[in-house]
Structures are given as C-alpha cells and as structure tokens.
Structure 1
Amino acid sequence: MKVHYLEIVSHDVDAVCRAYEEAHGIRFGDPDDLLGGARTCELPDGSIAGVRGPLRVDEDPVVRPNWLVEDIDGALAAVESKGAQVAVPPTDIPGKGKFAIYFLGSNQHGLWQR
C-alpha cells in the first residue's frame, strides 16, 4: 500500500510550496495543467506531492491521499461496498495514469492506477 500522489488544495499555493521546500529540502516545479495547475515534486520514495489552488469557487482546501492500486475499478467498487460515495469516477490523465476520488468517513480519498 502506497500513496502515489498527495494532493494539497490551498488558497496560497506559493506559501505552501515555499514552506515544504524550506522544511524538507525539496523543490516544486512549475504548474502542471494536467493536474489542475498543481506544482509538483517527486519525493525520495517515488511518490508525488502536488499543491494547487481550488478549481471551483466551492472547492475547499483539502489534503487528499491518492492510493496506488492495480485495478482502480475493482478498488472503487470495494470502497463503494463499504459506503463510499464516488465524487469523480475513474478518469484518465494522459501520460500519468487514471484517478478517482471518493468520500468516506467525512474525508476525501483518491485512488490512482498507473
């Protein structure tokens, strides 16, 4: 079990990136349009952290782990059987893989298939 992409939605992207860079000695890149304008960095274990602004007026700041899975459809069906509500069905991001977002236990969660 591994977090593939840690998505952080913030009203102050640059401040969050600077804080992580200073505290952890990492560097975030330029905004990636395929990830909603997120500035990303690869972490030592190969996972990715991304910080972006809200994509909608009603999108609140959130920290959303996207768990790496081999079968996103099967994993989504499994969490749905436990009461999860799908917010974003499996969606392809060219060259990056496929992601899905669901709500469970008052939290947002993500799945990622490469």
Structure 2
Amino acid sequence: MIQAMNIHYLEIVTPDVNDMVSSYAESLDISFSEPVLSLGGAYTAALSTGGMIGIRAPMHESEEPVTRPYSLVDDIELSVASAVKTGAIVALPPTDISGYGKCAVLMQGGVQIGLWQM
C-alpha cells in the first residue's frame, strides 16, 4: 500500500456535464480536455497533485450522479481483497484502462470508493 492517501482521479458523474465543466473551469480557472473515450467520455483536467479530475455523463440509465475519488494504490488486487474482507462490495473489479492503468470501484456504507493503480 502507498503510505499516504493520494487521490489520483476525482470522477464527477452528472447529467449536466456542460454546466459542471463550465462551472469548474470558471471558478477554478482551469481548462478541460475534449472528451476522453477510455474514461467514459469524461472531460479531464490536471490536478496539482499529478492526478486528474474527470466530468462525464452517466454511462447507463441506472448510473446515478456521484462524486467518486480514486485513491492511488500499489497493488489494486490486494487493496480490493482487503476492502472486501471489511465488508466492501465490488461494483467494478480491477479493470485495465488503456494508457491510464487499472481502476476498481467498491461500495461500502452507501459510499462509492475508487482505487487506481498505475
């Protein structure tokens, strides 16, 4: 495990993508990319920590709006297994994202938890 928690990707899922991108761009004085297909069509911008923020629309009708932080981990399979032992439910198992590494999504206590491995 990485010693200190590091948010590598902050994902915002919203039906109001254009408004949210405009709001973040204006209020934080940042520029977003064009949609990145491998990240679900998210508009992305760099974080000062070296990670990214991504804003995208729901990918299916049952996906609800959410803000999901993804913590950077050294071994995503081990991190997922450890979380499952404490009661987390795997919503998305470790999945390769071409050019970005692997991500996983867990659910615990009504909260979505993202993990990311480079």
After superposition, residues 33-48 of structure 1 pair within 5 angstroms as 33-48=37-52
Amino acid at match of 1:2: N
Q: Residue 4 of structure 1 aligns to a residue in which SS?
A: strand
Equivalent residue number for residue 56 of structure 2:
52
> Gapped runs of 5+ residues in structure 1?
none
For residues 68 and 44 of structure 1, the distance between their equivalents in structure 2, rounded to whole angstroms, comes to 15
Equivalent residue number for residue 76 of structure 1:
80
Equivalent residue number for residue 66 of structure 1:
70
For residues 47 and 23 of structure 1, the distance between their equivalents in structure 2, rounded to whole angstroms, comes to 19
Amino acid at match of 2:19: A
Larger proportion of strand = 1
**TM-score, length basis structure 2:** 0.95
Post-superposition offset of 1:83: 0.2
Name which of 22, 28, 31 aligns with 2:26. 22
For residues 35 and 72 of structure 2, the distance between their equivalents in structure 1, rounded to whole angstroms, comes to 22
Q: Residue 55 of structure 2 aligns to a residue in which SS?
A: strand
Amino acid at match of 1:44: S
Post-superposition offset of 1:43: 1.4
Post-superposition offset of 1:47: 1.4
Aligned structure 1 segments of 4 or more residues deviating by more than 4 angstroms: none
1:1-39: CA deviation from partner (whole Å, max 9, x where unpaired): 100000000011110011011111111110000000000
Q: Residue 31 of structure 1 aligns to a residue in which SS?
A: coil
Name which of 87, 95, 99 aligns with 1:91. 95
For residues 7 and 88 of structure 1, the distance between their equivalents in structure 2, rounded to whole angstroms, comes to 14
Q: Considering only aligned residues, what root-mean-square deviation do their CA atoms show, in Å? A: 0.6
Amino acid at match of 1:70: D
For residues 11 and 26 of structure 1, the distance between their equivalents in structure 2, rounded to whole angstroms, comes to 21
For residues 93 and 67 of structure 1, the distance between their equivalents in structure 2, rounded to whole angstroms, comes to 16
Q: Percent identity?
A: 46
